Amino acid sequence: MRPFTINVVLVRSIYETNVGASSRAMANMGAERLILVDPKCEFTFAAQQAAASGQHGLQNRIIYKNWQEFFSHEKDGLRFGFTAKDGKLRQVRDFNEALQWIKTSEPQMQEQTDIPIPIYLIFGPEDWGLSNSDLELTHFNVAIPTYGDNSSLNLAQAVLIGLFMLRQSWGGEKAIFESQQDRQLVESQSDRQDIFPEKALELWLREMGFDVADRKMNAYSVMKRLLLHNVPSKKELRILDIVLHQGIRKLREYNELRQQAGLPFTDSEKKH
């Protein structure tokens, strides 16, 4: 199948929060461009808040004053007009059905070329949706199927579902990523390995009289696993390092005093 790029087109949008949330949906589904035709809202911090971690589309939005300006810059591609209304003047197809038909029957999608074809998913304003004159400018009038009494979707939700249906049908490279929490965990684990006081733990155990090379009872390995099992923070590991070094000094002082006093050593202490 011919490669494609995804453009989300919002026509006469009323609420900036919906535009921001649509930008977030685009980031979820790998859509490249956000195009606004004659927007009826300003874009303030509220739009940025709604976009959350998906700011790219919003920050790089393309605004056209009208359809004439749109077509002077966007000359080719396939245009899908989304509508919840059906009637004599609107031959509306289920979006999934349209995608399957195009995939197998549309000549443009069968061309043997590496040049991607632009795909435009066009959504109307929140109050009345795309008008008949808007839909006359699209190649396919499509609807997202609903299963309840209310067939009208929130704009940003329609954008997300439409993008998802497109990806499900025509594919795309799924993002392999870790959540922010996962990344922080991996980073903290890496940091713990870098700053874990291994030498201090080994010296502390030696001063306690343990043989760290004893395979039958490897106190060093057990202690390290126990300490790392609870996912200590950097600060906690620094405190552990201080405690171990202070313990080493105290043990050395204690052992020196015992030696000066001529007190007998235990078997483990004799080994040490």
Find all residues with CB under 8 Å of 115, minimum gap 6, and list them.
2, 3
**The residue to which tokens 């990344």 are assigned:** 183
- In terms of pLDDT, which residue wins out, 46 or 261? 46
Q: What is the CA radius of gyration of the chain?
A: 32
In the chain, how many H helices and how many E strands?
Answer: 13, 7
The answer to whether residues 126 and 18 touch, using CB atoms and an 8 Å cutoff, is: yes
Q: What is the pLDDT of residue 85?
A: 67
- Spatial contact of 120 and 152, defined as CB atoms under 8 Å apart: no
Residue type, 180: Q
Considering only 118-132, 154-168, 255-269, which range has the smallest mean pLDDT?
A: 255-269
Distances (CA, A) of 187 to 161, 180, 182: 34, 10, 9
| Average pLDDT across the chain, whole number | 84
Distance of alpha carbon 196 from alpha carbon 198, whole angstroms:
6
Q: Is the pLDDT of residue 192 over 50?
A: no
Complete domains list, the chain, with CATH: 4-170 (3.40.1280.10), 180-271 (no CATH)
Tens digits of residue pLDDT in 67-97: 999 999 997 899 999 998 665 555 899 999 9
DSSP 137: T
Residue 100, both tokens: 């399957």
pLDDT tens digits for range 210-246: 777 776 667 777 777 776 666 667 777 777 777 787 7
Rounded mean pLDDT of 115-122? Answer: 95
Specify burial of residue 266 (Cβ count, 10 A radius: 0-12, 13-18, 19+). Answer: exposed
* pLDDT attached to residue 179: 53
- What value does the mean pLDDT take over residues 151-167? 95
State mean pLDDT over 43-60: 94
Q: How confident is the model at residue 252 (pLDDT cuts 50, 70, 90)?
A: confident
pLDDT tier at 110, thresholds 50, 70, 90 = confident
**36: its two tokens:** 């606004």
